[in-house]
Amino acid sequence: MKKIYFTMLIFVLAISTIFASGQSEKVDNNEVSNKPLSVMIWDTNQEPGITKMIEEFTQRTGIKAEVQVVNWNNYWTLLAAGAEGGSLPDIFWMHSKASEKYMSNGLLLNLSDKINQSDEINLDNYPSEIVKLYTYENNSYAIPKDIDTIALWYNKTLFDEAGVEYPNENWSWDDLYINAKKLTKADGSVYGYANKNSEGQGGWYNMVYSNNGYIISDDKKKSGLDNPNTIEALQTMQKLIDEKIMPPQEMMAENNVDVLFQSGKVAMAPFGSWMLSSFKSNEYIKNNCDVALLPKNAKTNRRVSIFNGLGWAISANSKRADDSWKLIEFFGSKEGQLLQAELGITMSAYNNTSANWKSSAPYFNLDSYLKMQNDMVMYPYSKSSVKWELAVNDSMLEAWSGKITITEASKKAAKLMNEIISEE
Partner 1 sequence: MGNKSLKNTRNRNTFLWGWILILPTILGLLILNIYPMFETIYQSFFKTGDFGRGNTFVGFKNYIKLINDLDVLQAVINTFKFTIVEVPFSIIIALILAVVLNTKIKCKSIYRTIVFLPMVAAPAAVAMVWKWLYNSQFGLINNFFDINVYWISNPSIAIYSIAIIGIWSDIGYNMILFLASLQEVPKDYYEAANLDGANGILKFFHITIPMISPMIFFVLVTRIIAAMKVFDFIYMIMDRANPALKKTQSLVFIFYQHSFVEKDYGYGSAIVVLLLVIIMLITIIQIFAQKKWVHYN
Question: Residue 219 and residue 209: Cα distance in Å, rounded?
Answer: 16
Please say which residue, 263 or 359, places its beta carbon nearer to partner 1.
Answer: 263
Determine if 238 is a binding residue for partner 1 (CB under 8 A). no
Helix axes 173-183, 235-242, angle to 10 degrees: 10
Please say which residue, 156 or 403, places its beta carbon nearer to partner 1.
Answer: 403
Question: Residue 234 and residue 241: Cα distance in Å, rounded?
Answer: 11
Contact present, 335 and 342 (Cβ < 8 Å): no
Distances (CA, A) of 58 to 55, 145, 187, 387: 5, 19, 55, 39
Residues 10-39 that bind partner 1 (CB under 8 A): 10
Please say which residue, 65 or 107, places its beta carbon nearer to partner 1.
Answer: 107
Tell me which stretch binds partner 1 (CB under 8 A): 148-156, 258-266, 269-277, 322-330. 258-266
Interacting residue with partner 1 among 54, 142, 252, 421 (CB under 8 A): 252
Alpha-carbon Rg for the chain in angstroms: 24
Please say which residue, 321 or 386, places its beta carbon nearer to partner 1.
Answer: 386
Beta strands of 273-336 (E only): which ranges?
A: 289-292, 305-307, 311-314
Sign of CA dihedral 341, 346, 348, 353: positive
Binding mask 49-88 for partner 1 (x = CB under 8 A): ------------------------x--xx--xx-xx----
Least distance from partner 1 to the Cβ atom of residue 97, Å? 13
Applying CB under 8 A, the site for partner 1 has a residue count of 37
Least distance from partner 1 to the Cβ atom of residue 262, Å? 12
Residues 311-350 that bind partner 1 (CB under 8 A): none
Determine if 251 is a binding residue for partner 1 (CB under 8 A). yes
Question: Residue 370 and residue 372: Cα distance in Å, rounded?
Answer: 5
Least distance from partner 1 to the Cβ atom of residue 322, Å? 25
Question: Residue 55 and residue 358: Cα distance in Å, rounded?
Answer: 24
Least distance from partner 1 to the Cβ atom of residue 36, Å? 26
Q: Would strands 65-69 and 37-41 be described as parallel, antiparallel, or unpaired?
A: parallel
Binding mask 379-418 for partner 1 (x = CB under 8 A): -------xx--x--xx--x--xx-x---------------
Q: Would strands 191-193 and 150-155 be described as parallel, antiparallel, or unpaired?
A: unpaired
264 Cα distance to chain centroid:
25
Please say which residue, 65 or 260, places its beta carbon nearer to partner 1.
Answer: 260
Interacting residue with partner 1 among 117, 250, 283, 362 (CB under 8 A): 250
Determine if 197 is a binding residue for partner 1 (CB under 8 A). yes
Among candidate residues 164, 179, 133, 388, the one with its CA nearest the CA of residue 295: 179
Distances (CA, A) of 88 to 27, 31, 82, 111, 259: 19, 19, 5, 17, 33
Tell me which stretch binds partner 1 (CB under 8 A): 146-154, 244-252, 273-281, 351-359. 244-252
Least distance from partner 1 to the Cβ atom of residue 409, Å? 13
Binding site for partner 1 (CB under 8 A): 3, 7, 10, 73, 76-77, 80-81, 83-84, 101, 104-105, 107, 188, 197-198, 248-255, 260, 263, 265, 386-387, 390, 393-394, 397, 400-401, 403
